Structure 1
């Protein structure tokens, strides 16, 4: 039985990932700030742990509990994260820093704690849940997109650093996936632009986002869970998995279109 730590397991993709892996025979430790939201997962064998990825003592405690109870760590799935939207002129320094603390610094700090155990085992997989946002940019979401660009770059670097130790680093890049993520991002957008010159732009942006996430084509979180399992079980996993509604078309467009055309097109899509 392989032991997997899944962060952000209290909702959305993290919840679905923890549930699916537990149901298919993994020993799963689900970690999140709100432990009570993981209670239903106990029915399928998920072991809940309290974790705030931004706090060093919390990260250390989780890894200690995991190794004490699981004896080893075969994989970590970093699904904890959130989207903080807003114009760069209006987003506070504190919120910008928190976006990076959760999506980048806390995530990578947890990986640092786990890496020595994986090196000792000469085996392990680190799966970072990124986003297609790590491939391009968008108005009114610069700090979120920047955090995903940072995660992508750090993951690429880490993959090359630890390959000789038998450790594989994998990025999952979801497109449009149904979850609480969009509502949280739009709440931050409302707060950031209220009473500013960006309100009208934000209103149009929000209408486009609501329409996209309400689409019948928007992917269910289960598709991400399936992809994570595939990445865990593949003999030769890909460095990146682009998955979910609009993911591949957007990545293709932003790779091939000139910048001036992207600047016009992306606000129409987001």
Structure 2
């Protein structure tokens, strides 16, 4: 019997690559995005497509109900939709923090609540939450994004154990830098804080210009630096996790995220000293 997967955020990158990878494995794939034009080519490739904004309760209910009506079950949910809001904590407006959590945390929560009654009834299913290595290790300038991914990791740990008796698996995928448009949007988000020093929500405080210089010089979250991987590498990890009878709780696609996750076990003082050294070397 052909299995069915619902994937969010399929307009590009990991989501698009995952949709194609599931399709190659003969899954019925529902590829979704906020703009249906962004997934039109996936429809032509054989996916079912749908408009889905993960911040919209009505969208979530409509798409999940449609899949259950058409397929009878959702075997896997891939919560991939997300973006990164970077910058020093003081310089990020509160409204931007709300938006970051609405997409990266509340979105997966909405989708999980929508699909779980069916999965529990079937006593089968997998929820895959695409997080980040920054969900385990927060760095200067990543606090808001890392905070959202830390929250997703914590919810996944709780959910995994809550669903154990129903044979529903929860897997967190933690990539490092990926060669996608993610870094371009992150760069735009940082640049959107104009260089004003008013201290208001409309611009930078003026206290962290060194961070912005380092961000622009080193491309902190760029997907084309050392250790970065193609989105297909992450997609393969997602499909493998969905196909396993007993998947691991966490998967790190690539060498860099596996090494970075180990760094969280270092004493705080050691990590702080490493960040300080990096800052000095970048001057």
5 Å matches for 1:1-270? 1-192=2-193, 194-195=195-196, 196-209=206-219, 213-215=223-225, 217-255=227-265, 257-266=266-275, 268=278
Question: Partner residue of 2:202?
Answer: none
Q: Give the equivalent residue in structure 1 for 2:201.
A: none
Per-residue CA distance 1:167-188 (angstroms, 9 max, x = gap) = 0101000011111111111111
Distance 1:245 1:252 in 2: 11
Summarize the Cα distance change of 1:192–1:92 in structure 2 as closer, same or farther, 3 Å threshold. Answer: same
RMSD in angstroms over aligned alpha carbons? Answer: 1.8
Q: Distance in 2 between matches of 1:28 and 1:211?
A: 30
Counterparts of 2:13 and 2:275, CA distance in 1 = 25
Q: How many residues align?
A: 269
Mark the runs of 5 or more structure 1 residues left unpaired by the alignment: none
User: Counterpart of 2:31 in 1: which secondary structure?
Assistant: strand
| Per-residue deviation, residues 97-152 of structure 1 (Å, max 9, x unmatched) | 00000000121111001000001111000000011111111111211000000000
Q: Secondary structure at the match of 1:214?
A: coil
Task: Answer whether contact 1:90 1:193 (CA < 8 A) is retained.
Answer: no
Q: Which has the larger radius of gyration?
A: 2
SS of 1:140 mapped into structure 2: coil
Aligned with 1:174: secondary structure? coil
Asked if structure 2 preserves the Cα contact closer than 8 Å seen for 1:5 and 1:73, the reply is: yes
SS of equivalent residue, structure 1 residue 252: helix
Give the TM-score normalised by the residue count of structure 2: 0.90
Cα offset, 1:28, TM superposition? 0.3
3-state DSSP of counterpart to 1:158: helix
- Offset of 1:216 from its aligned partner? 5.8
